[in-house]
């Protein structure tokens, strides 16, 4: 894991410790790399409950409650599935927050409509989820590293935004 990722993981750790909140991951194409980045910081067991590696649709449906119809209609590589994965991880693992990833890391698996390198990332709570799409193909290893880094950055920014909104509300 690179130095920037370690800094972001430490920031996430501090924000979750302060809030006394919990986190889970739901990962398809990243295969546990996001969870690995989260637990790189000592003391992660205070806030990280676990992760679900849901490489196949059956696991997305059974463990995370992702809609079968949605998977059939849009495939697993879409924003809506990433959102359902976050909500499902929060529910299944009973956490305040979750981070999810679903996509085609490569070298195969892509289609003309959804090419290799397309990865949907999502994070948030069961009630509020933010997403980001990664689209460039740099080869499997780099695609996975980029997705992992973007996912933890997205979550750190989500937590900071939540803090800013709470501060604004309490100042009113």
Q: Domains for the chain: give ranges and CATH numbers.
A: 3-171 (3.90.950.20)
| 3-state secondary structure (DSSP) of residue 88 | helix
Residue 42 has pLDDT above 80, yes or no: yes
Question: For residue range 56-113, what is the model confidence (pLDDT) as tens digits?
Answer: 999 999 999 999 999 999 999 999 999 999 999 999 999 999 999 999 999 999 999 9
Q: Are 133 and 148 in contact (CB under 8 A)?
A: no
Predicted pLDDT at 1? 66
d(CA 159, CA 47): 14
Predicted pLDDT at 158? 98
Phi, psi dihedral angles at 46 (to 5 degrees): -70, -30
Could you tell me the maximum CA-CA distance found in the chain, to the nearest angstrom? 52
Is residue 57 packed enough to be buried (19+ CB in 10 Å), middle (13-18) or exposed (0-12)?
middle
């Amino acid at each position: 894991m690179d130095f920037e990722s370690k800094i972001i993981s430490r920031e996430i750790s501090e924000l979750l410790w302060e809030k006394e909140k919990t986190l889970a991951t739901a990962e398809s194409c990243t295969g546990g790399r996001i969870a690995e980045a989260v637990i790189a910081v000592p003391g992660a067991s205070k806030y990280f409950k676990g992760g679900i590696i849901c490489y196949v649709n059956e696991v997305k449906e059974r463990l995370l409650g992702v809609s079968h119809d949605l998977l059939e209609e849009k495939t697993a590589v879409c924003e809506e599935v990433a959102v359902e994965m976050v909500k499902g991880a929060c529910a299944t693992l009973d956490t305040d927050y979750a981070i999810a990833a679903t996509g085609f890391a490569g070298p195969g698996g892509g289609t003309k409509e959804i090419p290799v390198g397309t990865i949907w990332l999502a994070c948030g709570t069961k009630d509020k989820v933010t997403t980001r799409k990664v689209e460039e193909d740099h080869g499997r290893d780099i695609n996975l590293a980029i997705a992992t880094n973007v996912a933890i950055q997205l979550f750190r920014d989500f937590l900071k935004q939540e803090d800013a909104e709470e501060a604004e509300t309490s100042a009113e």
